[in-house]
Amino acid sequence: MGKARLLIVEDDIDISNMLKIYFASQGYDVETALRGQDALEKTRQSMPHLIVLDIMLPDINGYEVCRILRTTTRTSHIPVIFLTQKDERSDRLQGLELGADDYITKPFDIDELKLRVQNAIARSERESLTDPQTGLPAGRMIEDQLRQAIRKPAGWAFLDVRINHFEPFKNVYGFIAAGDVLRFAAMLLGEVIDELGTPNDFLGHAGGDNFVILTAEDRADAIKRRLKERFRDEVVTHYNFMDRQQGYILAPDSDGHIEPTPLMTLAVGVVSPATHYFADIREITELAAEERRQDSLSK
């Protein structure tokens, strides 16, 4: 997997810089925010695997930041560790009631904080809550969102999104470059949802090169078009100059023969209660996958 991404939300610049330097030395990709609103914006731009959140912030307090994260569909899964000078039982309970995963008080032991961060991320991945590559909701969280959706008679749409020709790219460019493409795709999908979707839209990573979106029915077609256009135009930066110029890569097929393989594109299947009948969540995913396969074959 790639580096786990941490967001440190702390208005004390000395503590913030110390934590950034320390966790970067431990192999994490670390972002910092000095204000609560900045933290929310950075979370929308690039999904962290975990947030270390100070309670006392200059604009909105950490409790409010946590509440917004927990009540927003796309961020509700992110583990949060509160970091604060407060040590009252009532303050700890308030944080835990809001859905914080852990709580540590200042002055803190940096090794203890590191273990709490490691354990929270590992627990999230072990329980199939997040994908280790992208930090997006996975497995069980996707199923939970589908169960909620199927209870509604109308108004929603499910998008099955897959990267065409991802495996040949990984075979030629390697695992690190392939991981970069997955994180790029996750970021692009999030940006398009922010632009064309609704605040309650859900974005998940079903595994490998497969992503899913739950959105409002009337937004789905526009999201599909924009995703395909932007991915086609922007994914080329992950290829070298020669492959970009010729428009394909030379990759081994299943028999080991080297064949020209097109550059990566997106295939997107869309289903909704207006177009399909679903008896259970398995039918949602199967019908969407079939629509996606048809989209992959279309020009």
Percent residues over pLDDT 70 in the chain: 95
Q: Which of helix, strand or coil describes residue 32?
A: strand
Amino acid at 15: I
Residue 158 confidence (pLDDT): 97
pLDDT average, residue stretch 48-54: 94
DSSP code per residue over 225-290: HHHHHHHHHHGGGGS-HHHHHHTEEEEE-TTS-EEEEEPPEEEEEEE-TTT---SSHHHHHHHHHH
Amino acid at 211: F
- Tally Cβ neighbours within 10 Å of residue 222: 14
Helix axes 166-173, 175-196, angle to 10 degrees: 140
pLDDT average, residue stretch 274-281: 91
Give φ, ψ of 158 to 5 degrees: -115, 130
Residue 83 confidence (pLDDT): 84
What does the alpha-carbon distance between residue 158 and residue 293 come to, in Å, rounded to a whole number? 15
- Answering whether pTM is above 0.75, one says yes
Percent residues over pLDDT 90 in the chain: 70
What does the alpha-carbon distance between residue 19 and residue 110 come to, in Å, rounded to a whole number? 8
Q: Which residue has the higher pLDDT, 127 or 21?
A: 21
User: Quick one: CA dihedral 67, 70, 74, 75, positive or negative?
Assistant: positive
Q: Closest Cα to residue 107, out of 18, 234, 2, 196? A: 18
Give φ, ψ of 16 to 5 degrees: -60, -50
> For residues 140 and 127, is the Cβ–Cβ distance under 8 A?
yes
- Residue 183 pLDDT level (bands cut at 50, 70, 90): very high
Q: Closest Cα to residue 266, out of 218, 222, 229, 241? A: 229
Q: What is the pLDDT of residues 117-169, one digit of tens each?
A: 999 988 887 776 788 888 899 988 899 999 999 999 999 999 999 999 999 99
Residue 123 confidence (pLDDT): 86
**Structural domains for the chain:** 5-126 (3.40.50.2300), 139-297 (3.30.70.270)
Specify which residues 176 forms β-bridges with: none
> For residues 184 and 235, is the Cβ–Cβ distance under 8 A?
yes
Helix axes 281-297, 139-150, angle to 10 degrees: 100
Is the bond leading into 107 cis (omega within 30 degrees of zero)?
A: yes
